Structure 1
C-alpha cells in the first residue's frame, strides 16, 4: 500500500522523505472512517477495483502517523543538539525547508520583550539579499505582519503566487523578481510558559523568555504552497523549535551579560607611559571567568603590571575578580615598589574575606626609564621575554597560589630588558586551552613567541595577536571554553 514518489513542490525534492502513508490526519472527535478525505486516501493507496478490507484504513492512518512522528523526532533531535542561538536558527531554517519543500528562507529574531538580540538569518540568501528584503515595507511582508502582532491563522501565512496578487507592494514585487522567488510560507515562532515534550507526559518549564520570539518564512522559486500535511508538520515543529530557541536565547543573553560585566571590571583602556608600549588580549568563557589584567601608573614615573586568575567561573568568580583587582590597585599605589608586600596584603585580604577561594597572581613594579621590572608571583606562570636575540622565560621563584597556605611568602626577582624587547604576561588559560600537557604547552608558547615576524616585533599589539593565534589555531582563541585567556604585552622603547 505504498504511495508513489511524492511530486516535486516548486521544482524541489524535499530532503526529508514523505511518509509512505499519506492519509490526512483525522479531525478531533471524528472516527477514522468518517475523517475528511479518508475515503479518497484509502482509494489512493489501494489497488484499482480492490475492496477496502476492514481495518486497512485505520492501519494505513496509523502508519502515516508513525512516519510523521519519526520525521519530527529526527528533526527535533537534530535541533536539540544545537547549543548556540545562531546554530539553532540555521537548523530551524533547514528543517522547515525540508518539511514544506522550499529551498530558501529566513528567520527574523525579534523578541517581544524588546531585550534582543534582534537579528536576521538566511538560508540560501546572502547578506546582501537579506538587505534587499529589509528594504521592503514591513507591512507588505508576511513575517512583518507576524512581528507586528497582527492576527495569524494556526497554519501561518501562505502566499502561493505573489505576482498574481493585485495588491502586491511595488517594492516587494521588484525584490521578489530580483531574488527569484514567487511564493512564500511564514510561521510565527512563539514560546509558551510550559510545554510537554515527548510521550512520557513529563512537562518542561521553559526559561523566562516567553511570548513572540520572531518569525520564519520560506521562499519558493515558482508559484507553490505547502499541502495540509506539510503545514501540520511544520506547525508542530515550529512550536517545539520556539521552546528550544527560547532556551538558547536566554543562554545567549546570559553570555553577553557575563562578557559585558567581565569587560567592565577590566581596564577600559591602557595607560600611556613614556618608555613603554602596552597591548592586551582577553577572551572569556560563556559563563564568565576570573582572569584579569591591569596596568596602572604609579608615583615616580613607574608602572604597575598585573595578571591573575580567580578559581571558579560564573558570576561569583567575576565578582571576586573585580574585588581582587580593585584591592591590588590600592595596595600597588601604597607599596608598589615592593611586589612581595603587595601580594602579601592581597593574600591576607583573600584569606579573611573569601576563605573558600584561591587565586594566582603576578605583580611587577616596572621602571620604564631603566627598562627594569621587579616581579613577584603567587602560583602563576612566568613571563616570557621576547627580543631580537633571545626568547626566554623569566626565572621566578616557586610559590603557592594565594589562599592556599596559612601565610603566603615568596621572594621577588628582578630583570632588565633591552631596547625593543617585549615582556609577555599571560594567564594559565592560554596554556590550558591548548589541551596539551604543561611541558608541551609551554614549548608551544615559546615557539610561537620565537616565530613572531621581525616586522611585527615593534608593535606589542601585533606580538600579542600573533602569539594568541599561533598557540590557539583553528579558532580555538575565540571558541567557547571554560578557560579564560589573558595576554598583556609590554614593549620597551
Structure 2
C-alpha cells in the first residue's frame, strides 16, 4: 500500500463547500493555512461510486492511478472569477436601468433584466405604492394585453404578487420572495389560478417584493417559467440585489411622475375646461404639456354682440413658475379682451405694460384675434408669435402678419393688426412655437412640414376642426413625438367658420 504523507491529504469537504455559493471572504478563510492536521482527527475521504476509500486495496494488486483533486487555490480562483463575472453582469444591468428616465421604460427594463437573471421567459410587474397616491400600473413581458386580463381574473389572494403587496408581513420564508417550483402539482392551488396557468402555459413562478426600507413598498414582480423550475441560490442572490437597486430607482421615478402629474393638472386647470359656443364657428383645441410643465396657453371667450376672442401664447421658461405666470397672463388677457377686444393691438399693448410692471424678468409671445363669426371677419395682432394658418378646399396658406417683438422685450410694444375674411368651411389654425420646435428641424423646414400636413387634410375631415387638429399633429409630429417627453409645450386652436 502506498504510504501517503498526512500533509499531502486533501480535505474534500472544503472543496465541496467551495463549489457551493460561499462568499469570497468565506472561501479565503476556508483555505487559510491551519497548521499540520492531526492524523487521528483528519477526516477520511468520502465514498466514491460505492467504494469505501478507507479500505486498503489488496497487497498483490497495483494501486490504481487516481485523478488528482483540484488544488484549493484553483477552486478559490474559479470562485473569484465567478464573482467578478456576476458583479460585471449586475453592473451592466443596473447601468441600463439607470439610463431609463420614464417609469414605463424602467418597469420594462426591470422585467427584461430580471428574466435574464432567473432564467425565465415571461413575467409581469405590478406597481402599487403603499401610500395609495399612485401611479398604479401593470406591465407584462411576453404577455399580451389579453393575457394580463386573464391573470387579473385570478383571486388576488391566490397570486404571488397579491400576497407580497397585501400581506408583506408573515409570509413564508423571508417574506420578500415567493417561489412556486411546480404550480400544477400543488394540492392547495386555487382552481382559477390552475386554469389560467394551463391556459397561458406556465408551470412555475418566482416573485419578489419591490420594497426597501427607504423607498417603502412599491409593488411586486413575478417571472413565469414554461416548465417546472425555480432559480438557484446564486440566481436569487443576484436578482435580489438587482431588485433592491431597481426599487430605489423606481421610487425616484414615481416621485418624478407624481410631480409631473400635479403640474400637468394645475396647467390644465388654468386652461379652459371647455371652449365657448358661438354661432357660426366650431372650435377645437389640442394641448401637449412637457414633462416639466410649460407656459403655453390658449383661450376662446365669448365677447359682446356675438363676437369671439381667440388667443394663444407662450411664456418663457418651464416648471411651476412658468405655469403660474401663464395663469396670470391668461387671466389678464381675458380682462383686457372683454374691455377692448375689438382692438387686438390695444389688448396686447395693455398686456405688455402689465408684464413690464409685474413680470420684468419674463417675456412672452401672444396672438389675439377678434372674430365676428356672422360676418366671417377676423382682426388679429401678434407679438413675436407664429402666423396663423388658413386651411380650406381652395387654399392652404399662412396669414401675413407684421414682424413684431415678443412682449416684455421692448420698452414699448406696438404692431399693426391684420384683417382676415375666411371663406365658408375654412379653418383658421392658431398654434404655439412648440409645435415647430418639437420636430427638431430648422424653422423653415418645420413651417414647410406644417404647411404640407395642413394641405394633406382629407376632404372627409375638413368639416371637423378636431379631426383637422389631430391630422396636423400626427403628420407634423410623427412617431409619437406629440406624446414624447419634450421640453416644449404644444398648443393648437382650430376655428372652423360656417
> TM-score normalized by structure 1?
0.87
1:173 to 175, 194, 216: 194
Larger Rg: 2
Distance 1:171 1:440 in 2: 58
Q: Indicate the larger mover: 252-261 or 292-301.
A: 252-261
Mapped pair 1:109 → 2:109:
no
Distance 2:19 2:112 in 1: 25
Q: Is the 8 A contact 1:26 1:32 kept in 2?
A: no
- 2:53 corresponds in structure 1 to none
Please state how far the C-alpha of 1:33 moved relative to its aligned partner.
Answer: 5.6
1:161 to 171, 177, 182: 182
Q: Is the 8 A contact 1:33 1:57 kept in 2?
A: no
Cα deviation digits, residues 383-415 of structure 1 (max 9, x gap): 111222222111111111000011111111112
SS at match of 1:111: coil
SS at match of 2:316: strand
Distance 1:27 1:398 in 2: 72
Mapped pair 1:229 → 2:225:
no
SS at match of 2:242: helix
- 2:482 corresponds in structure 1 to 477
Distance 1:307 1:70 in 2: 53
Mapped pair 1:379 → 2:384:
yes
2:261 to 249, 253, 256: 256
**Unaligned residue ranges in structure 2 (runs of 5+):** 1-17, 32-42, 49-65
SS at match of 2:482: coil
Distance 1:101 1:158 in 2: 14
Please state how far the C-alpha of 1:31 moved relative to its aligned partner.
Answer: 4.8
1:349 to 354, 361, 366: 354
> TM-score normalized by structure 2?
0.86
Mapped pair 1:121 → 2:126:
no
Please state how far the C-alpha of 1:52 moved relative to its aligned partner.
Answer: 3.2
Distance 2:19 2:81 in 1: 9
**Unaligned residue ranges in structure 1 (runs of 5+):** 1-21, 194-209
Please state how far the C-alpha of 1:54 moved relative to its aligned partner.
Answer: 4.7
Q: Indicate the larger mover: 332-341 or 472-481.
A: 472-481
1:272 to 270, 274, 277: 277
SS at match of 2:21: coil
Distance 1:222 1:74 in 2: 28
- 2:61 corresponds in structure 1 to none
Distance 1:144 1:439 in 2: 55
- 1:199 corresponds in structure 2 to none
Structure 1 residues 302-451: aligned runs within 5 Å: 302-451=307-456
Q: Is the 8 A contact 2:210 2:217 kept in 1?
A: yes
- 1:189 corresponds in structure 2 to 210
SS at match of 1:64: helix
Q: Is the 8 A contact 1:23 1:60 kept in 2?
A: no
Please state how far the C-alpha of 1:272 moved relative to its aligned partner.
Answer: 1.0
Distance 1:144 1:395 in 2: 62
Distance 2:19 2:110 in 1: 26
1:488 to 472, 475, 493: 493
- 1:64 corresponds in structure 2 to 82
1:458 to 451, 463, 471: 463
2:20 to 15, 24, 28: 24
Q: Is the 8 A contact 2:21 2:233 kept in 1?
A: no
User: CA RMSD, aligned part only?
Assistant: 2.0
Please state how far the C-alpha of 1:192 moved relative to its aligned partner.
Answer: 3.7
Cα deviation digits, residues 422-477 of structure 1 (max 9, x gap): 11111111111122222222122122212211222121111111112111122112
Please state how far the C-alpha of 1:270 moved relative to its aligned partner.
Answer: 0.8
Aligned residues: 447
Distance 1:442 1:453 in 2: 20
Q: Is the 8 A contact 1:112 1:211 kept in 2?
A: yes
Q: Is the 8 A contact 2:368 2:381 kept in 1?
A: yes
Distance 1:398 1:371 in 2: 25
- 1:137 corresponds in structure 2 to 155
Q: Is the 8 A contact 1:143 1:186 kept in 2?
A: yes
Distance 1:224 1:468 in 2: 49
- 1:92 corresponds in structure 2 to 110
Q: 1:450/1:54 Cα in 2 relative to 1: closer, same or farther (>3 Å)? A: closer
SS at match of 2:311: strand
Q: Is the 8 A contact 2:211 2:218 kept in 1?
A: yes
Distance 2:449 2:190 in 1: 60
Distance 2:212 2:293 in 1: 27
